[in-house]
Chains A and B, each alone.
Chain A
Amino acid sequence: MFARLAPLLTLIAAVLLVLGLIDLAVFRSGVYARLIEPESTAGTVLGSVYAARHLRDPARKNILVFGNSQIGEGFSARTANEASGRPDLHFINASVPGTSPRVWNYLLREVDPDGDRFAAVALMVPYDTFGIRVDPANYPLDTSYTLPLLRLADLEDFPASFHVADQRERARRAILFPLQAMREDFLAFLANPPHRLHKTRKYWPGWLDAVQQWHGHDQSIPAMDIDPTSGQPRSWDGCSAELMPHLRDYLDALHNANYGSPELQTQDKAYLREWIGRIARRYRAHGVPVIVFVVPRGPWHKQLAPVPAASGAIAELRDAGDILALPCDAFVELEQPQYFFDQLHMNHEGQQKFSKLFAAQVAPLVH
């Protein structure tokens, strides 16, 4: 067989060998990761990696807190550290906007390859499916987020976690051809290499300070009286035109109890079982607690929605002893307009209160 195809196979092998060496030297070695645009999708993930590595205090028990922008805005590690009453504890905010447990799984593998560098891992998890629109397993940006964290060994596993063929294909290509997946970033780099080099050199140390010092937004949503019939405010006075459509959608979803179709709920459950389960199994061997919690869900949830119940995958994993789940109503008190600056994110006041409450809830669980 090989003799008849020898000229072709030899040439292909040589081309692949050289490409492999370039790939190894530039991408798999992490050289290019240092040059990725910090404010890109992949760059935000690298920011989380950078924070987890550089903020870790070897003298204390480090608790890595993962979440999306709700945690990015709503959690202050510095406040939590001060409020925990445990000088031996050290919270680190490793949140990445737009991410969910699949991305966190690969992030954790990157920053904690042996599963023993942190005393606890806290994961923001929705206990219900409020506002769900798509199967979380098919979230297309997950490949872009995970790009700098993927390895050739993930070639089967990662693409298979998507449920649609084109997403699988895209994920497979991203692993095999990282240059292709990062081509826009690479072209931007080629357009002005000195600018990118300068930016990345300056950006990360400054960014670390920004994470630590993040004050949060001072403004809050105006208190508005909600009409129980329509589910909308009786008056929009004081609400900005920019915020109004987002709040309207949010209140609509609340009023209509939009928790997604049964199919989506099943898919969400399977997704959480898979990815929270993976993280939990990884840490169980080292006795590191994986703590899940519900972030304050929105400015009118306390008034208009039931308290979330830990059901489905979260309940299963909790009952199996794989995870520790904070009480469902731990932060419901904060689901009020004065603690939010938009329909999703807490403001400075909410951030401060949440961080203190969170530290108080988590501290007893870390030994």
Chain B
Amino acid sequence: MLFDTLQYWYFFGAILLLLGALKPTAGKWLLVIASYVFYAFWDVRFLALLGLSTLANWAFGLWIDRDEDTARRRALTCAIVFNLGVLGFFKYFNFFADTFASLLHLDPNALTLRIVLPVGISFFTFEGIAYAVDVYRRDLRAQRSVLDFALFVSFFPHLIAGPIIRPVHFFPQVGKALALSDEDARWGLREILKGLFKKIALSNFYAPIADAYFHHTQWSGTDVPAWVGVLAFSLQIYFDFSGYTDIARGCARLLGYRFPSNFERPYLSADIAEFWRRWHISLSSWLRDYLYIPLGGNRRGEARTNLNFLIVMGLGGLWHGASWNFAVWGLYHGVLLVLHRQWRRAIERAGLTPSIDHAALRPLWVALTFVLVTLGWIPFRAPDFATTWTTLHAILAVPDLQLVAAHPAIIGVPLAGLAFCLYDRDRRWQGWLTLRAGFASATCAGVVAILALEIFGNIDAQIPFVYFQF
């Protein structure tokens, strides 16, 4: 059940109406049942896994909360081992078995198993770990109610592809009666329509171009130059994932829950560290809080800090998928973060910080960061290292502009997006629409958004969300 299908919106509408009619406890039951139904649409076989993971993490939470000192630490270790064990088995067993087999020149079929990757497993296992660690750190008490905990894990707007929800943010919202304010309604609808437009109109426009390049086929009757293919993927993945997140946040808000922001216009970042504060924020902050800081963060000297960057980003890359390509992508970002850190230290020592950070130079740094991030998407998207190398070589050639001349939208869309971001740089217009616009203006905005979706949306393409595979 994809967010860009009518089936999902029938489902969501029915749940919303029912929720509006129920008392809080019954509402929680409804949302848990609905979330399991939603999950069953993907693969009914993994309902048991979701249920088991929920029960185990709930029990681990109680165990951690109850005990002190060593026993408490042991319980936390068990919780982390359990979650990483589940994730490792379903997501990485074949990957490591395959790598091991190729290193020892063994037949990979002898070691690998026929394992199907349960959708959303990377997200709900990370949430399980976050919960265990938060309880261990006494940031929150363990949940006594298994129903509340099941809702936290399975709540369908974030179940399949995040954002990764923090228990400390979620649990205080559970159990409140649904009563939508005008702001909730407008905010939720705005995010849903914005997300649908990003996905259906923009991501679905770029996806076939990127696919054509990486599959060595044609798009619109012509070969796709490397730089267009890579740019297309860079835009596809942003519009796809941020669009998904917008829809998820909008749906959650209409159901009475607030999800944190997951994207803050990341392609307008002026350096790579800023990029990671604005891209997939729920994952990068998870990695920071539950991996980087426990590894020592930046408190153990320069060399260890740099190593921590590489470890965290390398594992963050592997989190996306069981492939060395993802690890390379993560390590590439780790290296960029290390270089960025050294660069900042160097200019600080030289007293150049005010000049380098001058507002007039910001467009240059934004462009540089965008180019570096976009180059990083090559190993992320390429099926193998050979394609990565070929693409890197091809991208250095003189740009072929024929395709862009024939289809100016390829460049026009990001330029229009940039113009919109500059115009609405503080999101005042979006805020006005939510908080201050009259009813007629809000209605008109909704109508225009839906008409734009109808005209520009490529719904028939039926392209799955990129992050569903993770």
Q: Which among B185, B451, B453 is the interface contact of A8 at CB below 8 angstroms?
A: B185
B18-48: which residues lie under 8 A (CB-CB) from chain A?
Answer: 20-21
A173-B443 contact in complex given A7-B182, A179-B455, A180-B457, C-beta closer than 8 Å: no
Residue B454 CB within 8 A of the other chain: yes
Contacts of A39 in B (CB 8 A): none
Instruction: Provide the bound-state CA to CA distance between A179 and B447, in Å.
Output: 13
Instruction: Provide the bound-state CA to CA distance between A173 and B443, in Å.
Output: 22
Residue A114 CB within 8 A of the other chain: no
How far does the Cβ of B190 sit from chain A's closest Cβ, in whole Å?
10
Instruction: Provide the bound-state CA to CA distance between A70 and B229, in Å.
Output: 43
B438-470: which residues lie under 8 A (CB-CB) from chain A?
Answer: 439, 442-444, 446-447, 450-451, 453-457, 459-460, 462
Query: Of B172-180, B329-337, B384-392, which stretch is located at the interface?
Result: B172-180
Contacts of A15 in B (CB 8 A): 443, 446-447, 450
Residue A18 CB within 8 A of the other chain: yes
Which residue of chain B lies nearest to A143 when distances are taken between CB atoms in the complex?
B460
What sequence of 0s and 1s flags, for each residue 1-15 of chain A, a beta carbon within 8 Å of any chain B beta carbon? 110111110111011
Assess the A179–B451 pair: CB atoms within 8 A: yes
Which residue of chain B lies nearest to A186 when distances are taken between CB atoms in the complex?
B455
Residue B17 CB within 8 A of the other chain: yes
Contacts of A176 in B (CB 8 A): 6
Instruction: Provide the bound-state CA to CA distance between A177 and B459, in Å.
Output: 11
How many B residues touch A, CB cutoff 8 Å? 35
Contacts of A173 in B (CB 8 A): 6, 459
Assess the B442–A180 pair: CB atoms within 8 A: no
Contacts of A169 in B (CB 8 A): 5-7
Instruction: Provide the bound-state CA to CA distance between A179 and B254, in Å.
Output: 27
Contacts of B198 in A (CB 8 A): none
How far does the Cβ of B35 sit from chain A's closest Cβ, in whole Å?
20
Which residue of chain A lies nearest to B447 when distances are taken between CB atoms in the complex?
A18
Residue B266 CB within 8 A of the other chain: no
Residue A22 CB within 8 A of the other chain: yes
Assess the B189–A12 pair: CB atoms within 8 A: yes
Contacts of A11 in B (CB 8 A): 185-186, 189, 439, 442-443, 446
Contacts of B442 in A (CB 8 A): 11
What sequence of 0s and 1s flags, for each residue 157-194 of chain A, a beta carbon within 8 Å of any chain B beta carbon? 00000000010011011001101100100110000000
Assess the B185–A187 pair: CB atoms within 8 A: no
Assess the A19–B20 pair: CB atoms within 8 A: no
A-to-B contact residues, CB < 8 Å: 1-2, 4-8, 10-12, 14-15, 18-19, 22, 166, 169-170, 172-173, 176-177, 179-180, 183, 186-187
Which 5 pairs from chain A and chain B are nearest by CB? A8-B185, A15-B446, A1-B21, A180-B454, A7-B185
- Give 17 new A-B contacts, CB below 8 A, not counting A12-B189, A173-B6, A187-B455: A1-B21, A4-B20, A7-B181, A7-B182, A7-B184, A8-B189, A10-B439, A15-B450, A19-B447, A19-B450, A166-B462, A169-B6, A170-B460, A179-B455, A180-B453, A180-B457, A186-B455
Task: Jot down 5 A-B pairs with beta carbons below 8 A, ordered by A.
Answer: A7-B185, A8-B189, A15-B450, A179-B451, A183-B454
B-to-A contact residues, CB < 8 Å: 5-7, 16-17, 20-21, 177-182, 184-186, 188-189, 254, 439, 442-444, 446-447, 450-451, 453-457, 459-460, 462
